[in-house]
Amino acid sequence: MRQSSLFPKTLRHQLSDEPSANAQLLTRGGFVFKNSAGVYSYLTLGWMVIGKIKKIVGEEMNAIGGAELYMPALVDRKYLEATDRFKLDVGFDVLGKKDRNAIYALGWTHEEVLTAIVSKYISSYKDLPIYLYQIQTKFRNETRAKSGVLRGKEFLMKDLYSFHVSEQDLFSYYEKVKEAYLKIFKRCGLDVYFTTAGGGAFTMSATHEFQVLSEVGEDEIFYCKICKTAKNKEIMDIEEKDKCKVCGGDILRGNSIEVGNIFPLGTKYSEAFDFQFTDGNGNKHLVVMGSYGIGISRLMGTIVEVHNDVKGILWPEEIAPFRAHLIYLPSNGGKTRGESEKIYDALRKAGVEVLYDDREDSTPGEKFADADLLGMPVRIVVSEKSIAAGGVEIKKREESEVRILGADKIDEEI
Ligand code: ATP
Ligand code: MG
């Protein structure tokens, strides 16, 4: 993509009202635009990042048998009334918060909707287990919407739900989801702690969270660096605050961001919708369920919180909107322009995702500052100097020294 046609331009100044790094850098880079507190538009580069995250999450969900679907954001009150959740203040009523005539809520989670659907089709043990997920906009009446895209009133979530004949089958799948989540977060360049949290109000045992250490995180965990496990503050016993029970390592305390969670739900929802299956002997049982969330948009913010320096973002390889940022520096005879165009074409032909700074009216300083702010993994500069030295100047975002490389070697190098 040519930077001359990229919308919007970057903002050079610091934003005085955005204390968090993700809000600051994502806004200045033109990845997102804040419409209201906790309500964001995703602009071209930001939407590309979201696309990369969705791709990783989708691949790992499919790898454990998940199948994607898409449910309505408008949730009829009949679903939420079945579990007595319509009264909760978590979501928004479509006709206004306090309107008792509201027919719909803006969905904040979809256990009820999906259980109602699946129960219409499945009645035999032969049709179980089944694993269904969606990536969808969720709505939460968050009063503490802050910290950029980390906590929104509107945000993107991946929600997976599993349906089983037994608790045992649920827990064997629960382990698979755990492993899939660890792969997802690793591919996103994040170091996560598998964190034991309290049993949710209705769940039958402990629930688990995936936490990333960060000063801006609203959660607090006690973690072991060696075995990468943690306990949420809420369930921490005093005597455990010293040594790790798993491996004997030191226990440390830190603020953290919850990027995902997994819940054994038991039969709460199948009971509410009378969702039963018949076993091999003709006996009926309630279906056992699990639910598993990942905050897709929160993940983007978390990656920025972890991967940034004073100059801007450093996107992990699989998340960067473009693999390379090709920078053209104008020269008197127009020689660098021709060379830059040639390299841009060759890279695209080789299948390299490249952002091409083809702007005539920006200074080298402005171009370099943009490249640092936007954070593509590799920077390639075409200048008179680089051509005289035999090619292009190349460096990784985290490196300070550039190297000269023959133009025909770029593809191979990156
Ligand atoms: P939190 O404790 O942070 O409020 P939660 O327990 O309400 O999260 P879930 O309702 O289970 O979380 O949502 C699943 C995932 O969606 C969370 O793990 C988190 O990554 C993300 N998420 C939850 N609320 C928000 C929000 N308001 N903005 C952005 N992401 C969110
Ligand atoms: Mg919440």
pLDDT cut 90: percent of the chain above it: 86
Confidence of residue 234 (pLDDT cuts 50, 70, 90): confident
Boundary residue ending a domain (278, 309, 340): 309
Lowest mean pLDDT among 131-145, 188-202, 215-229: 188-202
Residue 314, domain member (yes or no): no
Q: Are residues 131 and 219 in the same domain?
A: yes
- Nearest residue (by CA) to ligand 1, atom 16, is 295
Mutation probe of ligand 1 site: the residue of 261, 262, 299 with most atoms within 8 A of C-beta: 261
First to last CA, the chain: 18
According to DSSP, residue 124 is labeled B
Residue 293 near ligand 1, beta carbon < 6 Å: yes
Is the confidence at residue 217, as pLDDT, over 70? Answer: yes
Query: For residue 141, which ligand has an atom nearest its CA?
Result: 1
User: Rounded mean pLDDT of the chain?
Assistant: 94
- What is the reported pLDDT for 144? 80
Strand 193-197 relative to strand 219-224, pairing: unpaired
Q: How many domains does the chain have?
A: 2
Query: Given the CA of residue 299, which atom of ligand 1 is nearest to it?
Result: 20
Boundary residue ending a domain (286, 309, 332): 309
- What is the reported pLDDT for 321? 98
* 49 C-alpha to ligand 2 centroid (Å): 23
- List, for residues 5-60, the tens digit of each pLDDT value: 999 999 999 999 899 999 999 999 999 999 999 999 999 999 999 999 999 999 99
Q: Are residues 203 and 346 in the same domain?
A: no
- What is the reported pLDDT for 340? 98
Residue 258 near ligand 1, beta carbon < 6 Å: yes
Residue 154 near ligand 1, beta carbon < 6 Å: no
- What is the reported pLDDT for 294? 99
Residue 261 near ligand 1, beta carbon < 6 Å: yes
Pair of tokens at residue 196: 């034991």
Give the 3-state secondary structure of residue 82. Answer: helix
Residue 319, domain member (yes or no): no
- What is the reported pLDDT for 201? 58
* 218 C-alpha to ligand 1 centroid (Å): 11
The residue assigned the tokens 């949290």 is: 197
* 287 C-alpha to ligand 2 centroid (Å): 26
C-alpha to C-alpha distance for 314 and 308, rounded to whole angstroms: 5
Residue 316, domain member (yes or no): no
Phi, psi of 148 (to 5 degrees): 60, -130
- Name the nearest CA neighbour of 57 among 322, 318, 359: 318
Q: Are 247 and 227 in contact (CB under 8 A)?
A: yes
Q: Are residues 199 and 291 in the same domain?
A: yes
Pair of tokens at residue 314: 């450093």
Burial of residue 379 (CB within 10 Å: 0-12, 13-18, 19+) is buried
Q: Which residues does residue 131 pair with via DSSP β-bridges, in sequence order?
A: 162
- What is the reported pLDDT for 380? 98
Query: For residue 219, which ligand has an atom nearest its CA?
Result: 1
Q: Which residues does residue 212 pair with via DSSP β-bridges, in sequence order?
A: 257
* 55 C-alpha to ligand 2 centroid (Å): 24
C-alpha to C-alpha distance for 60 and 183, rounded to whole angstroms: 8
- What is the reported pLDDT for 245? 84
- At position 410, the amino acid (one-letter code) is I
Residue 140 near ligand 1, beta carbon < 6 Å: yes
CATH of the domain at 43: 3.30.930.10
Boundary residue ending a domain (309, 338, 356): 309
CA angle 52, 56, 61 (to 5 degrees): 145
- List, for residues 248-268, the tens digit of each pLDDT value: 899 999 999 999 999 999 999
Residue 318, domain member (yes or no): no
Mutation probe of ligand 1 site: the residue of 150, 298, 302, 303 with most atoms within 8 A of C-beta: 298
- List, for residues 53-112, the tens digit of each pLDDT value: 999 999 999 999 999 999 999 999 999 999 999 888 787 877 555 566 678 899 999 999
Give the torsion sign (CA, 298, 302, 305, 307).
negative
Q: Are residues 300 and 328 in the same domain?
A: no
Confidence of residue 143 (pLDDT cuts 50, 70, 90): confident
Confidence of residue 238 (pLDDT cuts 50, 70, 90): confident
Long-range contacts from 143-147, C-beta under 8 angstroms, 24+ separation: 144/218, 145/37, 145/38, 145/39, 146/20, 146/37, 146/38, 147/20, 147/22, 147/23, 147/216, 147/218, 147/301
- Nearest residue (by CA) to ligand 1, atom 9, is 293
CA dihedral 58, 60, 62, 63 (to 10 degrees): 160
- Name the nearest CA neighbour of 45 among 330, 360, 224, 312: 312
Side-chain half-sphere exposure of 378, counting CA atoms within 13 A: 21
Domain that residue 346 falls in: 324-413
Residue 260 near ligand 1, beta carbon < 6 Å: yes
Query: Given the CA of residue 150, which atom of ligand 1 is nearest to it?
Result: 29
Residue 108, domain member (yes or no): yes
Mutation probe of ligand 1 site: the residue of 138, 192, 194, 210 with most atoms within 8 A of C-beta: 138
Higher pLDDT, 246 or 393: 393
Phi, psi of 147 (to 5 degrees): 55, 45
- Nearest residue (by CA) to ligand 1, atom 8, is 258
Q: Are residues 235 and 362 in the same domain?
A: no
CATH of the domain at 378: 3.40.50.800
Q: Are residues 251 and 120 in the same domain?
A: yes
* 208 C-alpha to ligand 2 centroid (Å): 14
- What is the reported pLDDT for 148? 96
Confidence of residue 237 (pLDDT cuts 50, 70, 90): confident
- Name the nearest CA neighbour of 315 among 78, 46, 76: 46
* 295 C-alpha to ligand 1 centroid (Å): 6
Q: Which residues does residue 134 pair with via DSSP β-bridges, in sequence order?
A: 159
The maximal CA–CA distance of the chain, rounded, in angstroms, is: 85
- What is the reported pLDDT for 95? 59
Pair of tokens at residue 376: 């593509």
Confidence of residue 378 (pLDDT cuts 50, 70, 90): very high
For 279-298, what is the mean pLDDT? 98
Residue 180, domain member (yes or no): yes
